[in-house]
Amino acid sequence: MKSRLVNFQQHGDKRGMLVALESNKEIPFAIKRVYYLYDTKIGVHRGFHAHKSLEQILICISGECCIHLDDGKETQEVILNKPYEGLYIANDIWREMYNFSSNAVLLVLASELYNEADYIRDYKEFLQSVNQEENT
Ligand code: T46
């Protein structure tokens, strides 16, 4: 699975904590876009897509949420609930986000600008695409 949890360095002192993230350092790509999900309603599942080339790091900077990952061969469930922990998700990975706590803020750092053409929103198409890549 081309995804992994990354622990960021925490700069703490008696005032509290700070995490700094820079392109091509803590984040393994140049950051071109930042967005965040908040006020997600109880019971809602989001995502249900893969990206053809986009790489992202997801950080739950407040509260908690779960991420379902699927590379066409194996699946993985990841709980994000630490503001100093990021989930790197490469391209070609199906993702769903669920179990958002009421105070959850999911920050996403992305390697590309928003492009609807990069999304694969049909699961069958996703499986065909990853199997095709494997056979080439
Ligand atoms: C992903 C997961 C983790 C924009 O206009 N610009 C943007 O950069 C994004 C990300 C979305 N939008 C618009 C498109 C839709 O009208 O915001 C609306 C909601 O987007 P979407 O339904 O794609 O949101 P999620 O939560 O299903 O998925 C998002 C990202 O789209 C996706 O890349 O990996 O968060």
* Cα 28 from Cα 12, distance rounded (Å): 23
CA torsion, points 125, 5, 97, 119, in degrees to nearest 10? -30
Q: Which of 11, 45, 49, 68 is catalytic?
A: 49
pLDDT, tens digit (0-9, with 9 covering 90-100), for 48-75: 999 999 999 999 999 999 999 999 999 9
pTM for the predicted model, two decimal places: 0.96
Catalytic residue flag (residue 45): no
* Phi, psi for 62 (deg, rounded to 5): -150, 140
Give the position, in ligand 1's atom list, of the atom nearest the Cα of 37: 26
Q: Characterize 30-54 residue by residue with b for buried, 16 or more Cβ atoms within 10 angstroms of its Cβ, and e for exposed.
A: ebeeeeebeebeeeeeeeebbbeeb
**What is the total count of domains within the chain?**
1
Tell how far CA 52 is from the center of its chain.
14
pLDDT, tens digit (0-9, with 9 covering 90-100), for 79-120: 999 999 999 999 999 999 999 999 999 999 999 999 999 999
> 81 near 5, Cβ under 8 Å?
no
CATH number, domain of 17, equals 2.60.120.10
Domain that holds residue 58: 3-134
